[in-house]
Structure 1
Amino acid sequence: MTTRNKTFIILAASTLAVASAGFFTWRNTNFLGPDSFCQNTLTTSQLEEVLGQGRLTQNSPDEGTSDVYDFHCSLQRASILSERQSTLSIDLTPETAAFPFQTRTWKEPSNMSYLVDSFTGAVSETKGWAILPDSCWEKIPMSTGNKSVPVVELNLQGGTSSRSAMAHTLVRVTQHVTETVGCSAQVSTTAPVRLIGPTESSERTDASNACGLTGFRLPAGMLLQGKLRPGTERFTTSGGTTSACDLFLVGGDEITVTFSASQDATIVDTIRRSGTMRDLELAVCRNHEMYLGVSVNDPYADLAGEDSVERLTAAKSEALQSFKAALMQQKNCA
């Protein structure tokens, strides 16, 4: 082989190696890509905390086309190191009443970690919500003149993230929205977000002291006259203003009854605005209003059947009063 041929082979191999390295860098990092996304709210490094390292693509326009303020952003992370593509959707959307505790979207609220000393909100490894302060409600058309309130929601698909990273992202976006519409709240976007999360694992339910509350037990009606019995439970640890307890009952497929409570003023005001008091109540504890609620999931409702709606309504009312009495005693509300 001549010297010229050897030189050509070496140059070709070097060129291929450089090109391969460049392609690898391009596909697995955000090299030469945008530095910020979602109306300049989130930086590349901040998004990598949630989505992981890879090529970031924004799938939605950065600015709305109407005169009405809105915030919608969808981001996708792709990498040749992983077949899975992660997508993070961020939306400003209207919600009503006790949506974090009584809707299909936010089922099993005991599995959420609730923000403390920040916006009113919660996160898990794949989703999060934050209610904008009430000073913002009349400034955003979606909440003007009706019973809903504006909520920032995160939804992560194709992967999971740490709860702290989800919380930081939620706070940054919510703070951006409040500043944009002129109702800014004094919340730090750089300090660690304090979270109150669930118990580490589901625990066996003490039928006489459910949800860790002395004297709280489900009435017979909630157990559908013997069709169901207590199984395990998971509830929010102490230390915050909002908590939830999910009771996983035995006797059917994924049967769950949820109890929730909050002394967070924004949650209480959200419920008052909705005007809906079904399966919930507002009480007073130590001069602060407190929300209390009960809900059942779809498998429970299916098992109960349509012919027992009145009995179920009465049973939920009885259960809510029992929950209220036990919780208020624990909090020394009297």
Structure 2
Amino acid sequence: MAQGSGGRALRWQWIAPVLALGVLVTAAHVWLNTNVLAGKDLCGGLVSTAAADAVLPGAGRISDRNGLDTRPGDPLDFSCTVESSSVLPGSETGRLRISGTRERGDFPFTAGRWSSPATVSFFSGGATGGVGENHGWVLLPASCTNSRPAIIEGYAPEGSDPVELSRLLTDVANRAAERAGCAGDRPMTPPDTLAAVPVSREVTDGRVCGVEGLAFPGLGGANGKARETVQDRTDAAWACEVAGHATYAVTQEPQIIAAVRASPGYKEQPPAAGLNVAGFDPRHVVADCSGTPTYFSMELGRNYTAALGSPGTPPSQELFNSFIDSVGQRFGCSASAS
């Protein structure tokens, strides 16, 4: 009996450390590679850990590192970086950057850091926003407009689910509006699905952007070498990019129109295509189309500006008038109807 007791004691002497090591390894794995025991919210309560986890690809522990970075005087001016990290071999750190900013109301249709509107899946109804390649935004309620309209913007890692990104940004927008005391009567709701991003195609003679009568934005006869991308799959906006030449956009989305009209610099502009218009300059304007305010924008590319002045290249205002005349028909817009 004494020998049996001694054997069990000997076995326990080496089993106990192994078990303890196993517990430590398991605890370390849970802490470093999963969200078990992690907080429910990040970034000062603006970002749901679960929603961020749904956007960030791969496995890992979600954290906000340095937390929320706010700007004095404006609760809707902030930034926060959420990371998903793991010590497992082959894993990479995924980063999701969320910010609240104030922009000119037509920001989705202007050049700069914004994706071409022709490659963005716009959504409206429960919330107004858009998601492009690993980048998205949601417009906050008009009651949040101060000096300029407010938006929530997000950059996600490559391969992120665009629908999950739209859900995350809408949730952050609701939380931010609530915190700032400017939330609407009811929370914004994200889309269930998003329209697919269109693929580019060759420009067809006589039907630039698939529209009869739209002048080619460049040297006449050069359209055979050009490619275009047309976003006509959403109700929120129509857009077309003729690569290197011009990008056109039209929207009647009420929240965007309200944001445009509430922005500094919005004023009466010279008539376009026989219509009275107001906007920020002669090529970013709002017209009345059969009683519905309609925004038109045209951004010019290097291929067009390089050909400007050459025979067969329409002047910019002539090109813009052609745009309103031809595309505007789809939106009930014409000089005779106004």
Say which is worse superposed, 23-32 or 226-235, in terms of deviation: 226-235
The alpha-carbon distance between structure 1 residues 6 and 264, as it changes in their structure 2 partners (threshold 3 A), is same
Distance 2:325 2:73 in 1: 49
Distance 1:313 1:151 in 2: 38
Match of 1:251 in 2: none
Match of 1:247 in 2: 242
Contact 1:30/1:55 (<8 A) preserved = yes
Contact 1:115/1:122 (<8 A) preserved = yes
SS of match in other structure, 1:71: strand
Match of 1:18 in 2: 23
* Residue deviations 1:126-158 (CA, integer Å, cap 9, x gap): 1112232322213xxxx2xxxx322221122x4
Q: How does 1:26-45 map to 2 (within 5 A)?
A: 26-45=31-50
Name the amino acid aligned to 2:201: E
Name the amino acid aligned to 2:129: G
Contact 1:115/1:195 (<8 A) preserved = no
Number of equivalenced pairs: 310
Distance 1:24 1:229 in 2: 58
Note the C-alpha offset of 1:199: 4.6
Distance 1:67 1:182 in 2: 14
Say which is worse superposed, 223-232 or 102-111, in terms of deviation: 223-232
The alpha-carbon distance between structure 1 residues 181 and 131, as it changes in their structure 2 partners (threshold 3 A), is same
Note the C-alpha offset of 1:78: 0.7
Q: How does 1:126-275 map to 2 (within 5 A)?
A: 126-138=134-146, 143=147, 148-156=148-156, 158-188=157-187, 193-194=191-192, 197-218=195-216, 222-224=217-219, 229-248=224-243, 255-272=244-261, 273=263, 274-275=265-266
The alpha-carbon distance between structure 1 residues 19 and 105, as it changes in their structure 2 partners (threshold 3 A), is same
Match of 2:64 in 1: 58
Name the amino acid aligned to 2:195: G
Say which is worse superposed, 207-216 or 192-201, in terms of deviation: 192-201
SS of match in other structure, 2:183: coil
Aligned-pair Cα RMSD in Å:
3.1
Distance 2:295 2:22 in 1: 63
The reply on whether 1:100 has 2:143 as its aligned counterpart is no
Distance 2:298 2:311 in 1: 15
The reply on whether 1:327 has 2:327 as its aligned counterpart is yes
Match of 2:296 in 1: 292
Gaps of 5+ in 1: 249-254
Note the C-alpha offset of 1:125: 4.5
TM-score (normalizing by structure 1): 0.80
Note the C-alpha offset of 1:200: 3.8
Contact 1:93/1:152 (<8 A) preserved = yes
Gaps of 5+ in 2: 1-6, 267-279
Distance 1:326 1:194 in 2: 33
Note the C-alpha offset of 1:4: 5.6
Note the C-alpha offset of 1:162: 1.1
Contact 2:218/2:314 (<8 A) preserved = no
Contact 1:199/1:237 (<8 A) preserved = no
Higher CA-based Rg: 2
Contact 1:207/1:230 (<8 A) preserved = no
Distance 1:35 1:12 in 2: 34
Match of 1:252 in 2: none
Note the C-alpha offset of 1:225: 6.1
Note the C-alpha offset of 1:5: 5.4
The alpha-carbon distance between structure 1 residues 256 and 57, as it changes in their structure 2 partners (threshold 3 A), is farther
Distance 1:228 1:214 in 2: 14
Say which is worse superposed, 14-23 or 25-34, in terms of deviation: 14-23
Note the C-alpha offset of 1:105: 0.4
Contact 1:116/1:195 (<8 A) preserved = no
The reply on whether 1:77 has 2:84 as its aligned counterpart is yes
Note the C-alpha offset of 1:311: 10
The alpha-carbon distance between structure 1 residues 80 and 14, as it changes in their structure 2 partners (threshold 3 A), is same
Contact 1:122/1:129 (<8 A) preserved = yes
* Residue deviations 1:180-200 (CA, integer Å, cap 9, x gap): 2332224545x5515553554
**Percent identity between the two aligned chains:** 23
Distance 1:89 1:326 in 2: 40
Distance 2:314 2:321 in 1: 11
Distance 2:108 2:80 in 1: 21
Say which is worse superposed, 61-70 or 29-38, in terms of deviation: 61-70
